[in-house]
Amino acid sequence: MSDDASVRADDRAHVFHSWSAQGLIDPMPIAGAGGSYFWDYSGKRYLDFSSQLVNVNIGHQHPRLVQAIQEQAAKLCTVAPSFSNDKRGEAARLIAELAPGDLNRVFFTNGGAEANENAVRLARLHTGRHKVLSTYRSYHGATTTAITATGDPRRWPNEPTAVGIVHFWGPYPYRSAFHAADEVEEGERALQHLRDTIVFEGPSTIAAVLLETVVGTNGILVPPRGYLAGVRAICDEFGIVLIADEIMAGFGRCGEWFAVDYWGVAPDLITFAKGINSGYLPLGGVIISDPIAETFSERVYPGGLTYSGHPLACASAVASIQIFKEEGIIEHARALGEDVIGPALRDLAERHPSVGEVRGLGVFWALELVRDRSTREPLVPFNASGAAAAPMNEFAAACKQRGVWPFTHFNRTHVVPPCTATADEVREGVAVLDEALAVADSYYTGA
């Protein structure tokens, strides 16, 4: 029988962890999970304010989702992608029915990075062009093209990798690259910047603009109203494919099936993963518009994966979508953001000087922590490590000590519990943030 010591021993002796210096980590063994909580082998419970990697949208161990996987395993565990399969077809139909516009076909992958790799490939083959524009402050995955498209420091040690990626600045009113006075001006100037970038890179060379609809790990950056519609119009003008990366923002996280629905914008391709089945099994994909799908009607698409549309994963997606519909999870997530999370976080900002800004939608929120509200100096420097990162590390430790597992990145803490979390669970977590923010306040230097 497993215990803390044996799990820890096997892990340290044999597991090679991602994004880590192997000798400097000591991962905490997890014994189990349920709903909005997980626990270690001592029985200490943690409120999962990170939804693991912002993917357990339906909560841990949802009994209907577990049962669906068990039932499919008893029926058919695996089948090659070249065959048709009932759960694969049903999952694709359900996803297409939820997607906006004419996005009616689904190419299944094992996760989000592969989804973005294939979306870029589809766009390049469809347009006959090679360049892809993506933003700074973005994350699109750790495979070759996806990490090159990424606009944060995780890209740096992986370079040089793919070619043809050009980065530009997206809107971020709190730290505007355009010296904008307000959100309206930020959106306008960000669109002009994108247009200028396209003109100077050569519109005839650009296959796609790849955007996280709402930027995830790099800040929960909600675009100003009109921005996504403006990007859509620019892409239409120049014949450029618009790819919406909804890997983190989709399937309820923003209080909508897809975050683009909030603004009524239909991209040409949507990439998804995470919330489609809350990570119960590896699954991702690309939702493809009719014109792009038609490109490959009599032309071979040169890509594929051994586990594309895996029956177990697709069965979990079917069950998850059904549960979302029948249990009103989209509506619950929307209300949780409007009625509970947003007001509670704004109240924290009133009482803690270290909170520079609150922003978010649905169950997708961030507190930006600062040393000085007037200058907006971040609590820790960009990409801080070692002693420079101490304030955020101490804040995170204070949360964990009190039984809340936070999601922190640079100078932000993200509030991203499962979309199924109750109002009381959210208030429980916010109460812990309230106490832990005393750590951030202790570093405050402003007036």
Phi and psi angles of residue 120, each rounded to the nearest 5 degrees, phi first:
-65, -40
Q: Please tell me the predicted confidence (pLDDT) of residue 161.
A: 85
Q: Please tell me the predicted confidence (pLDDT) of residue 48.
A: 98
Q: How confident is the model at residue 156 (pLDDT cuts 50, 70, 90)?
A: very high
Q: Please tell me the predicted confidence (pLDDT) of residue 363.
A: 98
Instruction: In whole angstroms, give the CA distance from residue 291 to residue 414.
Output: 37
Residues 6+ apart with CB under 8 A from 240: 127, 198, 203, 206, 207, 208, 209, 234
Percentage of the chain with pLDDT > 90? 98
pLDDT in tens, 199-257: 999 999 999 999 999 999 999 999 999 999 999 999 999 999 999 999 999 999 999 99
Which is nearest to 166 in space by CA: 138, 134, 196?
Answer: 134
Q: Please tell me the predicted confidence (pLDDT) of residue 447.
A: 85
Walk me through the domains of the chain, giving residue ranges and CATH numbers. 4-61+328-441 (3.90.1150.10), 64-326 (3.40.640.10)
Which DSSP string do the residues of 181-235 spell out, in sequence order? SSHHHHHHHHHHHHHHHHHHH-GGGEEEEEEESSB-TTT-BPPPTTHHHHHHHHH
pLDDT in tens, 268-307: 999 999 999 999 999 999 999 999 999 999 999 999 999 9
Cα angle at 340 between 337 and 341, to 5 degrees? 55
Residue 1 pLDDT exceeds 80: no
Cβ(234)–Cβ(211) below 8 Å: no
Q: How confident is the model at residue 428 (pLDDT cuts 50, 70, 90)?
A: very high
Instruction: In whole angstroms, give the CA distance from residue 133 to residue 126.
Output: 16
Q: Please tell me the predicted confidence (pLDDT) of residue 277.
A: 98
pLDDT in tens, 404-425: 999 999 999 999 999 999 999 9
Instruction: In whole angstroms, give the CA distance from residue 89 to residue 92.
Output: 5
